[in-house]
A and B are shown apart, each in its own frame.
Chain A
Amino acid sequence: MTGSADVPGSHLDPAHGRHLLLQMLRVRRLEEKCVELYSAAKIRGFLHVYIGEEAVAAGVLESLAPEDAVVATYREHGHALLRGVPAGAILAEMYGFVEGCCIGRGGSMHLFDAATRFFGGNAIVAGGLPLAVGLALADKMAGRSRVTVCFFGEGAVAEGEFHESLNLAALWQLPVLFCCENNLYAMGTALGRSESQTDIALKAAAYEIAAWAVDGMDVLAVEETARRAVDAVRSGGGPHFLELRTYRFRAHSMFDPERYRDKAEVARWLERDPIVLLRAAMEAAGQLSAQDWEQLEADADAEVAAAVEFAEAGSPEPLEDLTRFVYSERGASPETGAGGGE
């Protein structure tokens, strides 16, 4: 059941390669800006960036259809963006403005978007897994051939919800793709210090779920494996599981002094930066000119600049609305929580 995917990417279409590069770059640039804006106190609360892990979201989300659903964690800016939530709405959310994708109620850790079936933004570790199982259950019961993709960190593997969710999904043969973003640390706790069995794919296999471990720094490998898994799930093959081996280049959040890992380790992983890797491979294959790269950077920068402008022009929600959205407003059309239905 377990096993590594074979090495893909040898026959890359240059346009597609540039697309993937741009997707990763969009996330990178947006989050670099977020860090800057956090220092400038425009963004508050907790901010967890995905820098270094972009190949995972970029590769996996590439294989989804619009009717599929995505569940993610508090480290979800990239997933939201690549799922199609506008950068401006994401940034405005972090500013706490009504123009944000959750009108400023959620913040960085709680991005939701009904239009793209993006179900958060969950800040309780492993809290999203049972939700994903339920979304998939609804699809199965309604006879829809949709896939629910659930992202979570390897830290979630220690929670009961992880095990309960995998068992349910397998028992009921639900259309879920579990994507474990194994960046080796849960805050300051290294995988080997929290798991007796560190082979995570093996745990999924114990629940009779097809599980593959993938190099999460290689966006092509991620994409190809995810495509296979999504196809299998969609065609009724039951839940699948990907362990995406990656690394977080930055601190856990903006308050982490990083006492638990040494700089040399971080430096080694920086050499495997997924953007640098794909860029270098494409350049070596003559698929990416200096001009192409500049264009990609310019596109990503322009999107971020426009998003900042959008967020800066945003406005705070009026105080008299404080107790809205605690219960549904009967008669009004739902603004964000359109539910799991159509």
Chain B
Amino acid sequence: MKSSYREALRAGIRDAMLRDERVFLMGEDVGAYGGSFAVSLGLLEEFGPERIRDTPLSESGFVGAGIGAALGGMRPIVEIMTVNFSLLALDQIVNNAASLLHMSGGQFNVPVVIRMTTGAGRQLGAQHSHSLEGWYAHIPGLRILAPATLADARGMLWTALEDPDPVLIFEHGSLYNVTGELDDDAGPVDIDTAAVRRPGNDVSLITYGGTLPTVLDAAGQLANEGIDAEVLDLRTLRPLDDAAILTSARRTHRAVVVDEGWRSGSISAEISARITEQAFYDLDAPVGRVCSAEVPIPYSKQLELAALPSVERILAAAREAVGARG
């Protein structure tokens, strides 16, 4: 069937609500407004205000309440409008959700799922354009997901809810309107492994989330130049699927990591380090990286575009890697 990314997410939420009475959705404007990105549109009518629960502007409060409800036996889906506002809930996410299991000596697990929009590209200025999923991937105790395809948008949520520990799901704002074919029987998917979205032999382009379409675009153009790029979609940023990353890098002998986050201290740095630590002698070129410029994302269009990973910059990095063929 035809579906948008947004509709696939909604189908995932609906499915979870129907499967398990303990599941409920809570967040700002998820109900009466219809969801700030219209993901939850229509769910209030179907499930009522107890289970599609509008919250005040109290990110720390309602994320903490979601963590508490999870401790109390519920299976909350907490929606934070965007990753930018998750910073107001950072204390609850890091000091409570991620730490309780450990601090309690394994007694209290926190089966909460926190969804949020991430990313830049819509001229929203610095305070609305962060890509901080890589930052969250720094935190032990959290599982970090970045659905980039319709099937993952549809299927990651249920598996995340079944996880006994906190899971954060990052939905890139540029993906909501992406439309395509979704299997009629699309359902839960694994949240452990990376996926090869395009097989290739010459260079591994490693990415996730909102930049996957850009990277696939670039790979298509590279094919015209006779460069056969493999595209690996990480899907899960914590724990990273080392095996998939290393298998691909060892096979193509060249890797370029594409990440909308800033480069310094980033998930791209982590991936690059793991490749050099574990596959150094298989490489024919240094690991390349295409990240956002180290600047708060500017409003003006030309500067924003220049700051973000682009097809051109990916092409350049891939060519450089391949050009360095030993």
Complex contacts, A321 vs chain B, CB 8 Å: 303
A110 to B123, CA, bound (A): 12
CB neighbors of A among B98-142 (8 A): 122-128
State whether A44 and B298 are in contact (beta carbons under 8 Å apart), knowing that A124-B85, A158-B56, A195-B56 are contacts in the complex: no
The 8 A CB mask of B284-308 against A (1 = contact, 0 = none) is 0000000001111011111100110
Interface residues of B in 25-78 (CB under 8 A from A): 28-29, 32-34, 36, 54-61
Describe A's contact surface by its main secondary structure: loop
Per the bound structure, the CA–CA distance linking A127 and B59 in Å amounts to 13
Q: Are B125 and A107 neighbours in the complex by a CB distance under 8 Å? A: yes
B88 within 8 A of A: yes
Q: Answer yes or no: A84 CB below 8 A from chain B CBs.
A: no
A106-B126, A187-B33, A194-B56 given; name 18 further pairs at CB < 8 Å: A46-B128, A96-B303, A104-B298, A104-B300, A105-B125, A105-B298, A105-B299, A106-B125, A124-B85, A124-B127, A158-B56, A158-B57, A159-B58, A160-B60, A259-B32, A259-B34, A319-B306, A323-B295
Closest 6 A-B residue pairs measured CB to CB? Answer: A188-B33, A96-B300, A107-B299, A158-B56, A194-B56, A104-B300
Report whether B303 and A105 are in contact in the complex, using a CB–CB cutoff of 8 Å.
Answer: yes
Distance to closest chain A CB from B276 (angstroms)? 26
Contacts of B300 in A (CB 8 A): 96-97, 104-105, 107, 316-317
- 27 A-B residue contacts at CB 8 Å? A44-B123, A44-B299, A45-B128, A46-B128, A102-B299, A105-B125, A105-B298, A105-B299, A106-B125, A106-B299, A107-B299, A109-B128, A110-B125, A122-B127, A123-B128, A124-B85, A155-B56, A158-B58, A188-B32, A189-B57, A194-B54, A194-B55, A194-B56, A259-B34, A260-B33, A316-B300, A326-B296
A257 at the interface (CB under 8 A from B): yes
Q: What is the chain A residue whose CB lies nearest that of B59?
A: A159
Q: Is the CB of B57 within 8 A of A317?
A: no
**For residue B55, which residues in chain A have a CB less than 8 angstroms away from its CB?**
194
- Produce 1/0 per residue, A101-122, CB < 8 A to B: 0101111011000000000001
**Do most interface residues of chain B lie in helix, strand or loop, or is the interface mixed?**
loop
A189 and B33: CB pair below 8 A? yes
> What is the CA–CA distance of A110 and B58 in the complex, to the nearest angstrom?
22
Given contacts A110-B125, A110-B126, A124-B127, contact A96 B299 (CB under 8 A): yes
A236-277 at interface with B (beta carbon < 8 Å) = 256-257, 259-260
The reply to whether A322 and B299 contact each other, CB–CB distance below 8 Å, is no
Could you say which residues of chain B place their CB within 8 Å of the CB of A123? 125, 127-128
Please name the residue on chain A nearest to B296 by beta carbon.
A326
| A110 and B57 contact, CB distance less than 8 A | no
Known interface pairs A188-B29, A326-B295; A194-B124 also in contact (CB < 8 Å): no
Contacting pair A323 B123 (CB below 8 A) = no
* Complex-state Cα separation, A194 to B300, whole angstroms: 35
Residue B221, interface by CB 8 Å: no
Question: Is the CB of B84 closer than 8 A to any CB of chain A?
Answer: yes
Query: Which residues does chain A contribute within 8 Å of B33, judged by CB atoms?
Result: 187-189, 256, 259-260
Whether a CB of chain B sits under 8 angstroms from the CB of A85 is no
A185 to B33, CA, bound (A): 11
Q: Which residues of B contact A127 (CB under 8 A)?
A: 127
B binding-site residues for A, Cβ under 8 Å: 28-29, 32-34, 36, 54-61, 84-85, 88, 122-128, 293-296, 298-303, 306-307
Q: Which residue of chain B has its CB nearest to the CB of A110? A: B125
- Asked if B54 and A189 sit within 8 Å, CB to CB, the answer is yes
Q: Does A193 contact B (CB under 8 A)?
A: yes
How far, in Å, is B292 (CB) from chain A's closest CB? 10
User: How far apart sit A105 and B300, CA to CA, in the bound complex (Å)?
Assistant: 6
Q: Smallest Cβ distance from B246 to chain A, in angstroms? A: 33
**Contacts of A155-187 to chain B: CB distance below 8 A:** 155-156, 158-161, 186-187
Task: Flag if A188 contacts B125 (CB, 8 Å).
Answer: no
Tell yes or no: A135 within 8 A of B by CB.
no
Taking the complex as formed, is A125 at the interface, i.e. its CB lies under 8 A from any CB of chain B?
yes
Interface flag for A60 (CB, 8 Å): no
Give A191's nearest chain B residue, CB to CB.
Answer: B56
CB nearest neighbor in A for B34: A259
Contact B301 A110 (CB under 8 A): no
* Contact residues, A316-342 vs B (CB, 8 A): 316-317, 319, 321-323, 325-326
Query: What residues of chain A lie closer than 8 Å to B307, measured between beta carbons?
Result: 322
CB interface residues, A 288-338, toward B, < 8 Å = 316-317, 319, 321-323, 325-326
A69 within 8 A of B: no
Q: Closest CB-CB distance, A29 to chain B, in whole Å? A: 23
Query: Any chain B CB within 8 A of the CB of A126?
Result: yes
**Residues of B contacting A187 with CB < 8 Å?**
28-29, 33, 36
Q: Is the CB–CB distance between A46 and B124 below 8 Å?
A: yes
With the chains together, A107 CA to B301 CA distance in Å?
10
Q: Which residue of the partner chain, among A107, A124, A189, A319, contacts B32 with CB atoms under 8 Å? A: A189
Q: Contact between A323 and B293 (Cβ–Cβ < 8 Å)?
A: yes
Least distance between A76 CB and chain B CB atoms (Å): 13
Say yes or no: B306 contacts A322, CB within 8 Å: yes
A209 to B307, CA, bound (A): 45
In the docked arrangement, what's the CA distance between A156 and B88, Å? 13
Once the chains bind, are A322 and B303 in contact (CB under 8 Å)? yes
